[in-house]
Every structure is written in C-alpha cells, then in structure tokens.
C-alpha cells in the first residue's frame, strides 16, 4: 500500500513537471532606451506639463525606444512605469500602467514613442495603454509652491522608465532606463548675454554717447538689476561691482528702491525689460576719458526662493571729443540743427534764436544728450523714417 501511494505521488509530480513549462511564460528579452530632447535638456525653464504624458500637447521632452530582441517569440504581459523626480524635491510624479491591461510586442518589434503620445497608445501596438497615479505628496507640495507658475526652478530632474512583465508592476523590471532633464538649469550665465555698450572687461571698447542704451538678452519672466560702476586703478571690476551690489538699488521697476549710490557707483536699478537708456537724472553722469564696468543680475522667483544669475562683466570708455573748445560744440549743434530744420535754420538764426534744449514726451533734454537726439533725428530724417515739422511757439 505504501508503495502504491508513493507511485501515485511520483506520478502527480511528474505530471506537474510536464505541464509547468506550459503554464509559465519565459521572461521577455526587451531593450529600452530613453533620450531627452537636447534643447529642453539645456533649457532654463521647462513646462511642468511636459514632464508627463500630455496627450499630444506641448514639446517632446523625452523619447522612448523599445525593442523585442527575440525575433521568434512574442513579449507578453508588459507594463509601463514612468517616474519623475528631482534632486531637491525627491519623487514628483509616479505614473503606472493600469493592472489587468498589459501590452505585448510581436517578435522583433521596435517601438518609438514620446511623452506626447504614450498615453494615447504605443505606435504599432494594438493594446490601449492607460495610466493611473499622478503627483506624489512631495510633488503636489512642489507644484503648490509654484503658485500657478508653469516653469520649473533650477534643479536636476530625472525621468525613469521601467518595463515589467507579469500580472502587474511586481518584482524587478525586465528593462529600465533613466534620462536627466535640466542638467544645465543652474546659476550659470549661458542664456544671459550682454549686447551693448562696450565689450568684455579686458577690452578697450570706446563709445561716444554719454547716455548709452544698455541692451542684453535674457530669459522671459525675469527682472534685471543693472549696475554700472566707475573703474578704479587699485580695485578689480569684480570687487567694484560686488560692492555696489551689496547695497540696495535706487529704483525697482520705476519705484524708489530705498538705496543710494556709493561714490564710484553710477547706476543701480531693477527693471523688467532687457534694455535701458541711461537717464539724465537720478544717476551720476558719465565723464569723458573714464572707463566704466557693468553687468546684469537676472532675478527670478522660484518655489525655493529668489534665483539670481549674474552676467559676465563688460566695460567701455567714454571717448573724449576731438576739441573741447566752445566754438566746436556750438558748431556741432548748428550743423545738426541745420540738417534737421533745413532752410528754416537760417531764418531762425537771423532772428536771434539760440538752441537751449528739447522737450521729448514732456521731458526736457539738454546738453550732450540733446545733441545726440538731434543727430538721431537728422539720420532718421535723411533715411525717410520720420517727417519733421517746425512750428513757432
């Protein structure tokens, strides 16, 4: 009797050994590669919605290359997992394919997808892919702290893609890859370029206009602090600008900033645009023959506080006029007035009129700045850009 029971047990075990390979699926041989769009990888700001599968809206942030390496067998019961995290915040987003709705790849099939179309189904894959999950608690706090902002603050963001096989996202993934987003989003100056006046700090750039127009290129959504200092032989440009930056600006977006100019500081203002005309009031006048240094500090509010980025330092020297005699100055103004007024210039001169200044948009402009404006009007009139009408008051 005992021998018969042992024989039956061995028979059952033998049957299990026969049918077990039929019931189990061999692990799929899947290769996976994730690539980040180069432009967005080096961007200073990334749209939050682009970090997740966004139904075809927005730029392609990352690309997925998926391949069934087995050329003779299907890869079945596959599931996606998309994880987004940041170096400072931790996990931000966890999106997983819904259980019970796997997808499969035919023998040797290659699939290419992006963050824009993955939620609508993988190209060439019959099964419809649905994701569950969303922002993590840390991610929700992160988004709330942005207070409606649509760009990410400076940080390193990781996009991780995992492929699982089986009844759901259990065990270890059979394929996995990660790509970094925003590795160049930092306090560098790569997107903050100075344009004029002058050139790099060690150049001998010279300008003739004592009221130059400062211009630069920067990212949108930033305010800019423009600082101009006079050069000193015993101090470096960096130390001069750092000293000026340690005090409060004199104006912020047209409002009094509470600060005052120190002795060598010519201008210190926060503005919202990427250009600024040197004014004739509220600053120290630029003097002929002297060298000046300037830079921009871009200011942006982020969830972690105010982000500051400094531009490189540029310099210029205000050139001395060829002749400083009063007659030369009068002659220059006369030439410019005659060019602007034409035949009426002689008439006004014979009647004893003299040039005192100009009124532009309610602001009185005199001296060298008025001379510059006259020359500009003369040039534009010659080019046909403006028509000038002289009226007696």
With beta carbons less than 8 A apart as the criterion, state whether 309 and 189 touch: yes
Q: Are residues 203 and 301 in the same domain?
A: yes
Residues 6 or more apart from 103 whose CB is under 8 A from it?
Answer: 78, 79, 80, 97, 122, 125, 126, 127, 129
Alpha-carbon gap, residue 99 to 132, rounded angstroms: 9
CATH number of 52's domain: 2.60.40.10
**DSSP readout, 53-70?**
--TT-S---EEEEEEE--
Residue 185 token pair: 């989003």
Q: Are residues 49 and 173 in the same domain?
A: yes
Q: How confident is the model at residue 368 (pLDDT cuts 50, 70, 90)?
A: low
Most confident of 15-29, 202-216, 331-345: 202-216
Q: How confident is the model at residue 293 (pLDDT cuts 50, 70, 90)?
A: very high
The number of domains in the chain is 3
For the ranges 56-70, 74-88, 168-182, the lowest mean pLDDT is seen at: 56-70
Domain residue limits at 271 = 193-318
Q: How confident is the model at residue 296, as a pLDDT?
A: 94
Q: Are residues 35 and 71 in the same domain?
A: yes
Beta bridge pairs of residue 114: 63
Q: Are residues 170 and 36 in the same domain?
A: yes
Whether residue 176 has pLDDT greater than 60 = yes
Beta bridge pairs of residue 34: 64
CATH number of 219's domain: 2.60.40
Q: Are residues 133 and 165 in the same domain?
A: yes
With beta carbons less than 8 A apart as the criterion, state whether 205 and 316 touch: yes
Residues 6 or more apart from 77 whose CB is under 8 A from it?
Answer: 25, 102, 104, 165, 166, 167
Q: Are residues 229 and 314 in the same domain?
A: yes
Mean pLDDT computed over every residue of the chain: 75
- Reading phi first (left if > 0) and then psi (alpha if -120 to 50, else beta), residue 195 is in alpha
Q: How confident is the model at residue 302, as a pLDDT?
A: 56
Containing H/E element for 119?
none
Q: How confident is the model at residue 124, as a pLDDT?
A: 82
Whether residue 53 has pLDDT greater than 50 = no
Q: How confident is the model at residue 9, as a pLDDT?
A: 37
Q: Is residue 187 part of a domain?
A: no
Q: What is the mean pLDDT of residues 199-215?
A: 89
Q: Are residues 107 and 210 in the same domain?
A: no
Q: How confident is the model at residue 28, as a pLDDT?
A: 85
Percent pLDDT > 70 in the chain is: 61
Q: How confident is the model at residue 6 (pLDDT cuts 50, 70, 90)?
A: very low
With beta carbons less than 8 A apart as the criterion, state whether 36 and 62 touch: yes
Q: How confident is the model at residue 221, as a pLDDT?
A: 67
Widest Cα–Cα separation across the chain: 142
Q: What is the mean pLDDT of residues 344-360?
A: 66
Backbone angles phi, psi at 241, to 5 degrees: -70, -35
Q: How confident is the model at residue 192, as a pLDDT?
A: 77
CA angle 114, 115, 116 (to 5 degrees): 85
Domain boundary pick from 264, 286, 318? 318
Q: What is the mean pLDDT of residues 89-100?
A: 86
């Amino acid at each position: 009797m005992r021998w018969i029971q042992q024989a039956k047990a061995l028979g059952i075990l033998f049957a299990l050994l026969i049918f077990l390979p039929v019931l189990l699926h061999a692990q799929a041989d899947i290769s996976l590669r994730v690539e980040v769009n180069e432009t967005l990888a080096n961007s200073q700001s990334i749209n939050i919605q682009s970090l997740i599968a966004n139904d075809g809206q927005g730029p392609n942030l990352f690309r997925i290359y998926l391949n069934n390496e087995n050329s003779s067998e299907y890869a079945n019961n596959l599931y996606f997992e998309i994880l987004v995290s940041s170096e400072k915040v931790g996990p931000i987003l966890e999106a997983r394919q819904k259980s019970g709705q796997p997808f499969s790849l035919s023998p040797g099939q290659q699939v290419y997808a992006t963050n824009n179309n993955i939620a609508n189904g993988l190209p060439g894959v019959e099964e419809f892919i649905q994701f569950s999950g969303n922002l993590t608690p840390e991610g929700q706090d992160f988004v709330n702290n942005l207070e409606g902002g649509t760009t990410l603050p400076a940080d390193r963001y990781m996009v991780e893609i995992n492929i699982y096989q089986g009844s759901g996202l259990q065990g270890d993934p059979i394929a996995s890859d990660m790509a970094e987003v925003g590795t160049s989003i930092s306090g560098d100056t790569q997107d903050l370029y100075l344009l004029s006046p002058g050139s790099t700090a060690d150049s001998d750039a010279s300008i003739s206009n004592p009221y130059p127009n400062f211009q630069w290129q920067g990212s949108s959504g930033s305010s800019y602090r423009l600082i101009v200092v006079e050069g000193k032989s015993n101090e470096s440009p960096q130390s001069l600008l750092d000293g000026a930056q340690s005090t409060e600006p004199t104006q912020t977006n047209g409002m009094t900033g509470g600060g005052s100019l120190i002795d060598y500081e010519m201008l210190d203002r926060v503005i919202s645009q990427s250009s600024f005309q040197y004014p004739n009031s509220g600053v120290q006048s630029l003097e002929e023959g002297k060298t000046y240094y300037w830079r921009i500090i871009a200011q942006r509010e982020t969830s972690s506080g105010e982000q500051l980025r400094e531009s490189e330092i540029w310099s210029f020297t205000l050139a001395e006029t060829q002749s400083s005699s009063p007659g030369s100055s009068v002659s220059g103004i006369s030439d410019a007035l005659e060019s602007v007024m034409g035949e009426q210039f002689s008439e006004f001169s014979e009647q004893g009129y003299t040039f005192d200044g100009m009124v532009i948009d309610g602001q009185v402009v005199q001296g060298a700045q008025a001379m510059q404006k006259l020359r500009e009007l003369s040039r534009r009139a010659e080019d046909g850009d403006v028509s000038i009408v002289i009226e007696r008051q």
